[in-house]
Structure 1
Amino acid sequence: MKKNIQLFLLLFVTFTSFGQNEKDKVLFTIEDEPTYVSEFSRVYKKNLDIIDEKDQKEIKEYFDLFLEYKLKLKEAEKLKLHEKDAYKKELAGYRKQLSRNYLTDANATEKLVKEAYDRLQKEVKASHILINVSQDASPQDTLTAYQKTMSVRKSIIEGADFGQMAMQHSDDPSAKGNDRIPANKGDLGYFSAFRMVYPFESAAFNTKVGEVSMPIRTQFGYHIIKTEDIRANVGEVIVAHILLLNIKQNESKEDPQQKIKDIYSQIQSGADFGKLAKRYSEDRSSGVNDGKLPKFGRGRLRSKEFEEVAFSLKELGEISKPFQSEFGWHIVKLISKHGMKSYEEEKPNLERRIKNDKRAGVINSSILKKIRNTYTITENENAKSDFYNLADATFFSKSWKLPTDETFLNKTLFQIEDAKVTYKDFATFLLKNRARTMVKKPEAKGFINRYYKEFRDKELMAFYENDLENISEDFAAIYGEYRDGLLLFDLMETEIWERAKTDTIGLEKFFNNHKEDYQWKKRIEGVIASCTQKEAAENVQQLLKEGKSLDEIKQEINKDSKVSVIFSPGVYEEGHRNLPKGFKLEQGVSKIFNDGSTDFTIVKVNEIMPASDKKLSEIKGKVISDYQVYLEKEWVKTLKENYEVKINKRTYRKLKKLVK
């Protein structure tokens, strides 16, 4: 299914967002609805830009695919798939995600990205003392908390121990500890960018080692921070591994712990790690590449045990002892170590992280300034005073309700162009957020002031976001691509993919009509013996010829805790990756194969199985995929019959010149 949709994703395009040039030529019509050369040209050039040259098609092939694409969209429109709730919901999610790229300021973002990148090169060790004060506290309460923070800082500057002062004065419970958790005395350990709230992070990185910061305000209160140490970040590593799944995860009755020990013994005897990974690792995605995994850093993997072992390896080529993770048993080899990524490599990831971080407030301030310069915004100067009067003694209790006076509720709080935001909108917003603070009961004016600003900024951003199609041609085009592409996906899922999976009779008929495409090659049933020494291989070969059992051979060959042979019984198709190069399918015990390394291989063939038809149950996934392709071709033929298509032949003949 994924394979089938790749082309459609490339062909996403908006055909209605922009006006057509009067001189633009009609390329074809479907039910008298025109499609212009400019539309095709945009798609064609887009594909040339993003597809490798070797995969590019002739312009005629692109035209045929484009016409099919337009026919499918016409069918989706006829079926009214765009009116389905699920489609509308998913499209709204796409729009929300896409709009984020337009709710930003490039200059402000660039500064924050550079700052975050510089900080990610380091890890800072810091301790802190927290003095709680609400964001909505009265000026007097805020001043009291600040003065207390300054008093604690003064004592530390004059020689008091930071850890002891944290235990005495910090409102962070971890500083004092409890019966279950020992006191950390304010010590937060090492951290890098994005681990703490942004103001706290900045203070920690900007304070010199050994010094104590001035009070820093966050949503939790005031902090003083002592920077203890700054060290370099460790970067990333590339490792290779051999994995044997836990018994519950695989179908074999073989003990994976014992087998991983046998493999490790062969490695110690000089066997090639990559060849063993190819043969035995049950992580096939890495096994085919000598067990090599993509580069990763701390915190990137799902397995903490695997990560700890990987980063504990010091020397290139160093190999770990067998160990178990939640996935199974591993042996890990260190391939290379890498420092932090370059700025250009890391930049896209940092931009995404910043937009989901408190740093986004810096960007939002810049965008809000742009919004105020774009639209006419009128605020009611008396609005906040009117809401102060609502904050009676019940304001922070469950009994407080929205006012019922319609005249009051319908007053305009502020206006953006012609869109009015009412008192009722803000009162509802206050009611929702007031519930979060009922326990603390902050100062009412401070609470209303903070949430008025938050509400106003939120409404300004929402208005701007909803208006993006009108103020950004680029957004309108990309959003149109999502809209049509998502619609086409739903159409294909309904008409082709689901049908291919559920139409068992049609699938079986297709399979029976194409059996020649699904054949087993010759196969053997037997056992592959792998040895690390020629002498051991010769002994194994002789014992196999004598008819000894595998257990008997193991007992005779694997002595003194040294594993000299590993057996892999099974059924192998001609050309299987585990069969040695040059092996011929012949009954009996083969010669000893050696590729020039320390890997000596013997194959004992118990039975040769002739080429035969595969069963549908054995390759159902592949048959379903082929059946989907077949169904789509037949469906497109039907669409061409059902819709009147008229191609402007004169324009079509000149198409190659017209799209240049």
Structure 2
Amino acid sequence: MKSSPFLVVFFMLVTSVLVAQNSAKEVLFTIDEKPYFTDEFVRVYNKNIDLVKDESQKDLNQYLELFVAYKLKIAKANKLGLQNGQQYINELKSYRGQLSKNYTSDSKVTKALIEEGYNRMQKEVKAAHILIKCDENASPEDTLKAFNQALDIRKRIVSGENFEEVAQQVSQDPSAKENKGNLGYFSAFRMVYPFETAAYTTKVGEVSKPVRTRFGYHLVKVLDVRENRGEVTVAHIMVLKPQTITPEITAKITSTIKDIYAKLKQGESFEALANQFSEDKNSAPKGGVLPRFASGQLSSEIFENVAFGLKNAGDYSEPFESQFGWHIVKLLEKHPVKKLEEMERELDTKIRKDDRSRIITNTLNAKLRTKYKVVRNEKLYTKIKASVTDKYYTGEWKLPEDTKEFDAELLKVENKSITGSTFLQELNSKQKSKLAIKPISKLIDNVYTSFVDGQLNTYYNDNLETEFPEFANIVEEYRDGLLLFDLMEKEIWNKAKQDSIGLKKHFEANKANYQWKNRVEVVTVSSAKEDFVKKAMKLLKSDVKLDDIKAKLNTKDAVNVMIKEEILEEGDATKKIAFKVGLSEIYKDKDFYYVNKVIKVIPAGPKTLEETKGRVINDYQQYLEDNWVSELKKEFKVNTNTAVFEKLKATMKK
């Protein structure tokens, strides 16, 4: 009865905004002297006309009535102060933030990144790397040192030294000692973006130039490229490899996995065997089913290759060994790479969480620097720079005790003023990042540039309603929808549930609307095996109690029959029930056999209030709402400009 604001508002929020017919903006009606204009009415009508099923609501006169009623409710919500509720404020802010993402990124750049990511996803790259660590905020000297170190290592490899051996010797990736830098196969979005780019742009067998990521400098060697295998869903049975391995233990484990395999070959259920014998505690209770995965997501390349090597759903592998134990893998489903149009939203989300997002941010920042005028107070900026000492590098710098002299305007973005104190606070918060840029004046310039970009973005975001009328319209509609939702809850929904006297009175006045059809009280016995249903049928004929039937046919180890007691109404097409007392024939539906016993037939008749309370509450709510609009028209003064409406109708009908 109340699931979301969208179900409340008679004109629903939709993603596309249809262009309103051309009409001059005039006052269509007023509510307590507040004007509502023709352009909004036309826009809302055009946007929602195809969603309206009731033909009467397509009539412009009728639609105006609905529109006025809607605005009356919003006026009431504002009069009650619902717009000041914290939950409402938070929800509107959250929605606006989500919606603004479509306006605060460069669509062309985003589209190009989506296409690039999708094209890369068609292939899987097998690569190895050597890492020389270098902090993101390292000083220029340390950065150059790490770069030159990586460059020297590359020269050694290009001159003929073995990449794997060099990786074991010098790579600062701890795993290199074991895997010799080999990262296996991966596809787009599996690695940080600069690393991914190097892997996808370096030829097979070659080593990239030093590539900078947030971890340091990498040398990437591409070992192979193949078609993307997509993802798979598999189940497995696993016997764990113990910490201590002896020939006897190995023989015992291999014997166990072979015995399980033999049971599979004899036709026993994979799921049941996984549940009983698999030592993977996470997947065993689920029949051995693992979450779907792609190449490079598991820690075992052998396991991945076996899984992807299975051809048809239901196929299972012979026992094989990985570094974790012995497995038998069953293929459940293959998931090929989707089409671009199916993945656009998913890829857009990945890009926003990825290093690629920096490209989008930088592009927008460059546009905003051109779009808006920024003026800086050079005298105050110089004073701020003089107040920051080299203690900043050790995190010991403190804000000036008296910041009043910095409260003046430091910069102005269009008509928005930002004080020097605000920038000082930014500098103070950035101190935790331990920036290593030297000298200190250069560090402050760097922080200032980011600060200005942040202020430009804030200004742009705060003025989206001015920049984009369609954005303002959508936010306003959502705002009204939230208010109406809260208002309906307060004035209608809660009242209908709490007003027990009014509810009962409404039920008594409308009893004819709440009637049962013919019903039957029935017992249904089901089983996967026909023999057990036949046995149950005999027991039902003999009027054996249901608990006794269960006790006779079910055992401690096996539930052979299920028994269900229910009352069914005439017209329930999902049940094969005869509306007469007695026992049915045995019938099969899908994989189960059934028999029904009708205990009694209950003739049609009126429902009690408790039996239909949900529907009565819903009807009572509608009754209250219908009468409520009449009361609102008395509470608020509504004046419709008839001449303007007639002129508008003539324009809209053309």
The TM tier, using the shorter chain, reads 0.7 to 0.9
Aligned letter for 1:79?
L
Aligned letter for 2:599?
N
2:390 and 2:440 in contact (8 A); partners too: no
Aligned letter for 1:99?
S
Match of 1:659 in 2: 652
**Can you list the C-alpha shifts for 1:94-123, whole angstroms capped at 9, x where unaligned?**
333322222222221221111122123344
Residue 71 of structure 1, CA deviation: 0.8
1:173-188 → structure 2 map (5 Å cutoff): 173-175=174-176, 183-188=178-183
Match of 2:221 in 1: 226
1:209-288 → structure 2 map (5 Å cutoff): 209-235=204-230
1: CA distance between counterparts of 2:162 and 2:496? 72
2: CA distance between counterparts of 1:465 and 1:46? 26
SS of the aligned residue for 1:461 comes to helix
Residue 135 of structure 1, CA deviation: 2.8
| Structure 2 CA distance for partners of 1:650 and 1:351, relative to 1, 3 Å | same
Report how many aligned residue pairs link the two structures. Answer: 567
Give yes or no for the alignment of 1:350 onto 2:347: yes
Structure 1 length normalisation: TM-score? 0.72
1:616-631 → structure 2 map (5 Å cutoff): 621-631=614-624
Aligned letter for 2:566?
V
Give yes or no for the alignment of 1:437 onto 2:434: yes
| Structure 2 CA distance for partners of 1:466 and 1:381, relative to 1, 3 Å | same
1:209 and 1:228 in contact (8 A); partners too: yes
Match of 2:522 in 1: 525
Structure 1 gaps, min length 5 = 177-182, 240-267, 270-295, 300-307, 321-331
Give yes or no for the alignment of 1:587 onto 2:614: no
Q: CA RMSD in A?
A: 4.5
Match of 1:40 in 2: 41
Q: 1:473 aligns with which of 469, 479, 487?
A: 469
2: CA distance between counterparts of 1:385 and 1:110? 42
Structure 2 length normalisation: TM-score? 0.72
SS of the aligned residue for 1:395 comes to helix
| Structure 2 CA distance for partners of 1:73 and 1:236, relative to 1, 3 Å | farther
SS of the aligned residue for 2:392 comes to coil
Residue 503 of structure 1, CA deviation: 4.5
1: CA distance between counterparts of 2:582 and 2:609? 31
2: CA distance between counterparts of 1:648 and 1:9? 23
Match of 2:372 in 1: 375
2: CA distance between counterparts of 1:628 and 1:313? 60
Match of 1:205 in 2: 200
Aligned letter for 1:140?
E
1: CA distance between counterparts of 2:219 and 2:652? 64
**Can you list the C-alpha shifts for 1:457-506, whole angstroms capped at 9, x where unaligned?**
11121122223333333333333323333332332233223434454555
Match of 1:129 in 2: 130
| Structure 2 CA distance for partners of 1:617 and 1:430, relative to 1, 3 Å | farther
Match of 2:594 in 1: 601
Residue 164 of structure 1, CA deviation: 5.0
1:215 and 1:223 in contact (8 A); partners too: yes
SS of the aligned residue for 2:393 comes to coil
Q: 2:392 aligns with which of 392, 395, 420?
A: 395
1:127 and 1:187 in contact (8 A); partners too: yes
Match of 2:459 in 1: 463
1: CA distance between counterparts of 2:450 and 2:456? 10
1: CA distance between counterparts of 2:411 and 2:526? 81
Match of 2:74 in 1: 73
1: CA distance between counterparts of 2:120 and 2:231? 16
| Structure 2 CA distance for partners of 1:502 and 1:52, relative to 1, 3 Å | closer
1:551-562 → structure 2 map (5 Å cutoff): none
1:137-152 → structure 2 map (5 Å cutoff): 137-152=138-153
1:570-581 → structure 2 map (5 Å cutoff): 570-575=565-570, 580-581=575-576
2: CA distance between counterparts of 1:313 and 1:562? 36
Aligned letter for 2:564?
P
SS of the aligned residue for 1:29 comes to strand
2: CA distance between counterparts of 1:185 and 1:199? 21
| Structure 2 CA distance for partners of 1:557 and 1:375, relative to 1, 3 Å | closer
Give yes or no for the alignment of 1:642 onto 2:632: no
Residue 362 of structure 1, CA deviation: 1.6
Match of 1:417 in 2: 414
| Structure 2 CA distance for partners of 1:400 and 1:33, relative to 1, 3 Å | closer
The structure with higher relative contact order (CA 8 Å, sep 6+) is: 1
| Structure 2 CA distance for partners of 1:185 and 1:622, relative to 1, 3 Å | farther
| Structure 2 CA distance for partners of 1:144 and 1:502, relative to 1, 3 Å | farther
Aligned letter for 2:114?
V
Report the more deviating stretch, 70-79 or 352-361: 352-361
2:526 and 2:592 in contact (8 A); partners too: no
Match of 1:196 in 2: 191
**Can you list the C-alpha shifts for 1:376-414, whole angstroms capped at 9, x where unaligned?**
223466888766654534223454211246576246554
SS of the aligned residue for 1:340 comes to coil
Report the more deviating stretch, 354-363 or 496-505: 496-505
Report the more deviating stretch, 32-41 or 130-139: 32-41
SS of the aligned residue for 1:101 comes to coil
2:525 and 2:533 in contact (8 A); partners too: no
Aligned letter for 2:73?
K
2: CA distance between counterparts of 1:507 and 1:174? 70
2: CA distance between counterparts of 1:202 and 1:452? 30
1: CA distance between counterparts of 2:155 and 2:607? 82
Match of 2:282 in 1: none
1: CA distance between counterparts of 2:30 and 2:612? 42
| Structure 2 CA distance for partners of 1:413 and 1:188, relative to 1, 3 Å | farther
SS of the aligned residue for 2:585 comes to coil
1: CA distance between counterparts of 2:524 and 2:315? 28
Aligned letter for 2:480?
D
Report the more deviating stretch, 206-215 or 499-508: 499-508
Aligned letter for 1:481?
E
1: CA distance between counterparts of 2:103 and 2:309? 44
| Structure 2 CA distance for partners of 1:629 and 1:543, relative to 1, 3 Å | same
2: CA distance between counterparts of 1:9 and 1:194? 42
2:395 and 2:434 in contact (8 A); partners too: no
Match of 2:83 in 1: 82
2: CA distance between counterparts of 1:634 and 1:584? 45
| Structure 2 CA distance for partners of 1:454 and 1:219, relative to 1, 3 Å | farther
2:5 and 2:485 in contact (8 A); partners too: no
| Structure 2 CA distance for partners of 1:620 and 1:119, relative to 1, 3 Å | farther
1:11 and 1:66 in contact (8 A); partners too: no
Structure 2 gaps, min length 5 = 235-266, 269-290, 295-303, 317-329
2:127 and 2:199 in contact (8 A); partners too: yes
- Determine what percentage of the aligned residue pairs are the same residue: 40
Match of 2:256 in 1: none
1:104 and 1:364 in contact (8 A); partners too: yes
Match of 2:483 in 1: 487
SS of the aligned residue for 1:224 comes to strand
| Structure 2 CA distance for partners of 1:464 and 1:528, relative to 1, 3 Å | same
2: CA distance between counterparts of 1:350 and 1:70? 40
SS of the aligned residue for 1:2 comes to coil
Residue 554 of structure 1, CA deviation: 8.0
Give yes or no for the alignment of 1:118 onto 2:122: no
SS of the aligned residue for 1:394 comes to helix
2: CA distance between counterparts of 1:122 and 1:315? 20
Match of 2:300 in 1: none
1: CA distance between counterparts of 2:537 and 2:424? 87
